[in-house]
Amino acid sequence: MDKRIKIAIATNGRLKPMGTFSRNYIEYLPFAKIVLFGGFIPYFYMGTSQKQQKILRYWYSLLSLKNQTKLDKLIKNRFKKILQKEKVNCVLAEFMNTGSAIREACKELNIPIVANVLGYEIHQDAVVEKNHQEYRKLANYKSIVVPVAKNMIPKLKNVGFLDSQIIFSPLGARDEFFEINPDYSSKRFIAIGRFAEMKSPLSTIKAFHKVLKNFPNAKLTFAGDGELFEDTKNLVDQLSIQDSVEFVGWISPEEQINLLSKSAIFIQHSVTTSIGDAEGTPVAILEASAAGLPIVSTKHGGIVDTVIDGKTGYLVDENDWEEMGNRMEELLRSPELIEEFGQNGRQFILENFSMKKHIEEIEKAIRTIVKL
């Protein structure tokens, strides 16, 4: 561990630290570190109980007389005092709007910021419009942004970030995924993700239903939960394919590895939402490809950076579930292609999107901006 550098990992989880990125930074980055959460300006240490949080929030509410401007100032001052007390050299923000929210406090202490750009904060038109000026201020400060998809880069430049401030780096797959041996003969598809508009789970079910007409022994395991879960389950019932689709709910990392080892092909039908939101680079796709599964997905967000169409999987247009079904069938007709695409994908992710590579890039960004 390099004790010359101390970082604060800032996550905007209201009740607890959040996000895959933060968990991996806590585990792998070779610096002294503290973890803060509690909102866009985080002011609770990791480990703060909900009772302690409630007491402080109530106290701040009284002190501010429920005036939002005064409350924001109290929170900012507490965040600033934590950075001073801990002698932090750099703040690593999980989202760009978190980085923007903490910029003023960091500027007063001359502390640089490295901020991940994960998706909604640069894709959703309303979010960008609301935060445009703050993003520009962040761009004009000592900052580096880390977009997880290449299609975010022009948007970052549009709000003022220079090429030298932008490092493209998706999270990457952990080592254990490269050790998985899929069951290429299983005819089992697997989908993992939130049941939300952006993941279009209904399109996935429609595509799989098409496959079943020619491959009645095919199976689909669908992991995750979310607001469209019941709608998805109802569609499965309406199509009378309950015996072919297994819903397993939220899964642990250990269960994910187990399910990938029993599967042959990973599918995900990501789309741009009605409010303009889009994926960054879905970690589940990186992990499935690292595990040796070919991918059938959409030409969307960072997916196009991580799946080579016709070599590590197939990509179709958004909302074209019929073509998605065609591509799924094409793989089932060619078992040798399943293995070829799967092994190509594993090698491609190992060379370009491993966890080790991502951590090295974040470490380099922090050392560069801290100048140590």
- Using one digit for the tens of pLDDT, what is the confidence trace for 59-96? 988 888 878 889 889 999 999 999 999 999 999 999 99
Model confidence at 3, in pLDDT bands (50, 70, 90)?
confident
Per-residue CA distances from 111 to 21, 82, 366 (Å):
21, 12, 11
Residue 199, pLDDT score: 95
Using a cut of 0.85, tell me whether the model's pTM lies above it. Answer: no
**Tens digits of residue pLDDT in 282-320:** 889 999 999 999 999 999 988 999 999 999 999 999 999
Model confidence at 214, in pLDDT bands (50, 70, 90)?
very high
Percent of the chain surpassing pLDDT 70: 98
Distance CA 249, CA 51 (A): 30
Model confidence at 281, in pLDDT bands (50, 70, 90)?
confident
Distance CA 366, CA 113 (A): 8
**In the beta sheet, which residues pair with residue 309?**
313
Delimiting residues of CATH 3.40.50.2000 domain(s) in the chain: 2-172+355-370, 175-352
Residue 174, pLDDT score: 86
Residue 372, pLDDT score: 54
In the CATH scheme, what is the code of domain 175-352? Answer: 3.40.50.2000
Give the CA diameter of the chain.
68
**In the beta sheet, which residues pair with residue 354?**
173
| Domain spanning 2-172+355-370: CATH superfamily | Glycogen Phosphorylase B; (3.40.50.2000)
Residue 110, pLDDT score: 96
Model confidence at 246: pLDDT above 80? yes
Given a contact cutoff of 8 angstroms between Cβ atoms, the answer to whether 35 and 17 are in contact is yes
Q: What tokens appear for 350 in the block?
A: 């190992």
Model confidence at 18: pLDDT above 80? no
Model confidence at 229: pLDDT above 70? yes
